[in-house]
Amino acid sequence: MSIKDPLLTAYWIKPAEADHGLGYGVTAYSLEDAMSLLKEARITFNPATATVRENVQPEQMDAKHIAPNAGPTVWRGVWYPRLNL
């Protein structure tokens, strides 16, 4: 599913800390906005050490695990884990 709002970007954020699993998928207006959505979801980590990819889709990250368990990427929110439904 592609993003319909040209102002939104789908991010994949992978914290360096080992206890954060595969990472987080977030669609937001900016990286700062994405980080604030994760903070609102009570997902905390050191953003300075996280790896960030822009303009991603769940099937690009992991077609067998992330894609089937992801929420929609077409609106603002945390889509992996599926918190935007």
Segments of the chain scoring below 70 in pLDDT: 1-4
**Whether 26 contacts 61, CB under 8 Å:** no
pLDDT the model gives residue 4: 63
pLDDT tens digits along 38-60: 999 999 999 999 999 999 988 88
Question: Comparing C-alpha atoms, which of 23, 19, 32, 16 is closest to residue 61?
Answer: 23
C-alpha distance from residue 38 to each of 13, 17, 22, 63, 64 (Å): 10, 15, 15, 23, 24
pLDDT the model gives residue 76: 95
